[in-house]
Structure 1
Amino acid sequence: MERKVVASKVPEVTVLFWIIKVFATTLGETGGDAASMSLHLGYLLSTGIFALVFVLAVTAQIRASRFHPLLYWITVIATTTVGTTLADFADRSLGIGYPGGASILLCLVLASLLAWYLTLGTVAVDSVRSPRTEVFYWVTIMFSQTLGTALGDWTADSLGLGYLGGAALFGSMLALLALAYFWTRISRTLLFWAAFILTRPLGAVVGDLLDKPLGQGGLALSRYTASAVLFGLILLLIFTLPHRPAMATVPAEE
């Protein structure tokens, strides 16, 4: 059977991908807090605003005919900001608490991945080429970003590790996943999604470390300044370094 190489609508998973992902998740924390706390919009209104941005960004991403780095990362940032305010709303305003919120969101992530796999037969990122696959991809990412926020806050606040301790914990877990990638034959797709989820709580605790008051263990930096610097770094990486789409080998008739 003849086969051909085709490009997906998402980036190749490289070190650059993970660096931008951590910056984006940290921006999601500082940006979400800036809207809900610094601007006093509250968690519910902020979630509504960011949810609208998320829907618009995903719609543009799905309508695009090929991979666009700037559009892709703006969509990721949209998922992580709405994830921040949605998790805070569920955990704090609804009184679910961090354990309850994290448990519900973990089930949603797993359910999304299972539905995706049962429908299309794979959850690999290089398969993200059709609108239906993209819907599964972005829904899964939105749930994972929200889960990561709840995990980060739970670790830093309720478990008493603090922001530095939380960053060390999630950084160590990501390092273990990297070792598993290079030294084991564990499914690369499984390792990708595990790492994707864990980069969010890492960004959450780093974001809180930057903008929380000194009395709470933070550095008390301006949320607006931190968000602007992080967004600037993301743009710098997007426009100065090459970004390639993930490639897949498929039957020629596809």
Structure 2
Amino acid sequence: MTESTKPQDARAGRMLSKVPEVTVWFWIIKILCTTVGESFADWINTSLGAGLNLTALIFTIVLAVVGGWQLWLDRYVPAVYWLTVVVLSVTGTLYTDILTDNLGVPLAVSSMVFAAVLAVVFGVWYARERTLSIHSIVTTPRELFYWLTVLVTFALGTATGDWTLTVTGWGPGVSVLLPAALIAAIALGRRFGANAVLSFWLAYILTRPLGANLGDWLASPTVDHGLGLGTGFTSILFLAAILATVVYLTYTRVDVITDAPHTSRPGVAVTSASPIRERVMLGYYTAVAILAAILLGWAATQPHTASSAADEESGASITTAPVAPGQTTTHFPAAEVAKFRTIIGDTLTRVQAGSQAGAKARITDLETAWDGDQSTLQPLDGRAWEILDGQIDAALKAVRAARPDPATEIRTLTTLLATLG
């Protein structure tokens, strides 16, 4: 934009497009951002022991700073735009986790709530601007609606994705297939004339569970049917891919919208070139949704054990019949069991002494040791590993709670010690 045109656009309240063109690069980097964002949030929340509420507060502040930077710009800048997407991905995920883990809201309920919120945002946005197209983001109000929508789609994608895992018990590899298949169905529908705006937002929501499940599949141990790359290496790999893609887009500008279409003018509604075909493809999308619901319903009726990833995301714990002390660890090496008991005993002592910071630091050693031994212990006795994994998750949540309850901490740690024998 030249200096001669910029003042005129400013007086009109308009700018160059603040979002990228929707190309294959858009979808690739969107999925990468989702995976890295969630992994980074988990690292701060669990590995550093910051806790869910503090992590959410940190990212809310970061979102305000990064979002302000994005809004201050008068054009699309790849690095700032995609940084905003990453932070929104993390923040939306954390808000869903707070509802589930801290407030006990069922994933089914949070999914419906976020779907309703998204519908309201879309309704108000369309009533005011008469378009929901990504190509129309040339005014500040539209950009605000756009980013609010993106935040809600991340929260909705998190809730529905975790709900699916909880209901079906699918492993990391299998869980990738459903969102991937649905996105492929949407791409096919768009090719045959489905509404562009509807197709875009449906695919946008589904990229969140796809990216998260893809990351879990790559990072999960091979005994869990993952590729065993680990969360650290997976995060580094995806971050490197994001940086390379952003650098490429910055220098080539292949995703810059140079001329906004006529539908971007305020007050001008988007017209359809083929309303009949759009209605037909809307029926196709409805059929796909019904088939997906039938598949999920069938999977929910099949015998399965909820995956540890789903349990951790949803805050659910594995319920088991009472076991005699030491019975669960019969097949585990005595030295490893003793190591876990020592760490748990130290954590319990610090809780009883009122040293919450010390307890948080010590229980992190338990998490690290348990995750490190998973590939060795789980093949020896998968059921015993699931029982202990669920109890360790409960202990981690109790000690790392924003407002720890000593009675809950002592109960979960004592139960865990009893199970270990």
**Partner residue, 1:138:** 147
Give the equivalent residue in structure 1 for 2:131: 122
Tell me the amino acid that sits aligned with residue 176 of structure 2. A
Structure 2 counterpart of 1:249, one-letter code = P
C-alpha distance in structure 1 between counterparts of 2:97 and 2:19, whole Å: 28
Larger RCO (CA within 8 A; separation ≥ 6): 1
What residue in structure 1 maps to residue 66 of structure 2?
Answer: 57
CA distance in 2, matches of 1:89, 1:163: 23
Unaligned 5+ residue runs, structure 1?
A: 1-5
CA distance in 2, matches of 1:152, 1:53: 25
Please give the per-residue CA displacement for 1:24-66, whole angstroms capped at 9, x wherever unaligned.
1111221121121222222211111111111211111111011
- The superposition leaves residues 150-172 of structure 1 with CA deviations (integer Å, 9 ceiling, x where unpaired) of 12212223321222222100000
Unpaired stretches in structure 2, ≥5 consecutive residues: 1-14, 267-421
Q: 2:89 — aligned with what?
A: 80
- Indicate if the aligned counterparts of 2:19 and 2:134 stay in contact, CA closer than 8 A: yes
Find the aligned partners of 2:73 and 2:83 in 1 and give their Cα distance. Answer: 14
CA shift for structure 1 position 16: 0.8
Which of these residues, 201, 207, 231, is aligned with residue 239 of structure 2?
231
Partner of 2:76: 67
Helix, strand or coil for the counterpart of 1:59? helix
Deviation at 1:101, TM superposition (A): 1.3
| Pick aligned residue for 1:160 from 152, 169, 180 | 169
CA distance in 1, matches of 2:106, 2:264: 50
Please say if 1:202 is aligned against 2:210: yes
How far off its partner does 1:248 sit?
Answer: 1.9
User: Does the aligned pair in 2 maintain the 1:155–1:162 contact within 8 Å?
Assistant: no
Are the counterparts in 2 of residues 10 and 125 from structure 1 also a CA contact under 8 Å? yes
Asked if structure 1 preserves the Cα contact closer than 8 Å seen for 2:172 and 2:220, the reply is: no
Q: Distance in 1 between matches of 2:177 and 2:262?
A: 40
**Aligned with residue 39 of structure 1, among 31, 43, 48:** 48
- 8 Å CA contact 2:179–2:207 kept in 1: the answer is yes
Distance in 2 (alpha carbons) for counterparts of 1:212 and 1:49 = 27
User: Which residue of structure 2 aligns with residue 250 of structure 1?
Assistant: 262
Q: Distance in 2 between matches of 1:176 and 1:95?
A: 34
Distance 1:232 1:253, change over 3 A: closer
Q: Aligned letter for 2:58?
A: I
Q: How far did residue 250 of structure 1 move?
A: 3.2
Partners of 2:181 and 2:198 in 1: how far apart? 18
In structure 2, which of residues 95, 100, 125 is the aligned counterpart of residue 91 of structure 1?
Answer: 100
Counterparts of 1:186-225 in structure 2, within 5 Å, are 186-212=194-220, 218-219=226-227, 221-225=229-233
Q: CA deviation at 1:226?
A: 2.3
Aligned residues: 248
Distance apart, 1:230 and its partner CA: 1.2
| Shift, 1:216, TM fit | 5.4
Distance 1:53 1:205 in 2: 25
Q: Percent identity?
A: 34
Mapped partners of 1:123, 1:11: distance in 2: 15
Q: Which moved more, 1:237-246 or 1:52-61?
A: 237-246
TM-score (norm 1): 0.90
2:65 aligned partner, one-letter code: L
SS in structure 2 of the partner of residue 201 of structure 1: helix
Q: Which has the larger radius of gyration?
A: 2
* Distance in 2 separating the partners of 1:155 and 1:100: 13
For residues 39 and 245 of structure 2, the distance between their equivalents in structure 1, rounded to whole angstroms, comes to 19
Does residue 113 (structure 1) correspond to residue 118 (structure 2)? The answer is: no
Q: Could you tell me how far apart the structure 1 residues matched to 2:77 and 2:112 are?
A: 34
Amino acid at match of 1:9: K
Contact 2:136 2:263 in 1 (8 A): no
The Cα of 1:218 is off from its aligned counterpart by: 4.6
